[in-house]
Structure 1
């Protein structure tokens, strides 16, 4: 299950690049593609942190 979550975020990021590959609009002073990439970096990091915390808690209970 954890591998599914990891690959889902990777494929969602890579698969969406062709859709968001444009310079305008600017968000927070960044071109849209740069903002999109940075957002996915943060989202993926948060998801992996939460997944790791859940897995560690499950291992402690066993």
Structure 2
């Protein structure tokens, strides 16, 4: 469970910072946004989902204690 929380914590960081060189090479328009702007917006939603999953895991663990 601890490794899952670590992966969920690092995933938004890797998405936003680590993958910029790869996302910056593509130049289409997605939903009216340049691809890099779309990438960052998608990263915000990904971070929200990861934090929600971590909260769910922690609250479930807290109820069992």
Fold similarity call, TM over 0.5: yes
Gaps of 5+ in 2: none
Distance change >3 Å, CA 38–CA 28, structure 1 → 2: same
- Indicate the residue corresponding to 2:61 in structure 1: 58
Gaps of 5+ in 1: none
TM-score (norm 2): 0.79
Q: Which has the higher contact order (CA 8 A, sep 6+)?
A: 2
1:8 deviates by 3.1
Superimposed CA distance per residue, residues 26-49 of structure 1 (whole angstroms, 9 cap, x where no aligned partner): 000000000001001101111111
1:12 deviates by 3.1
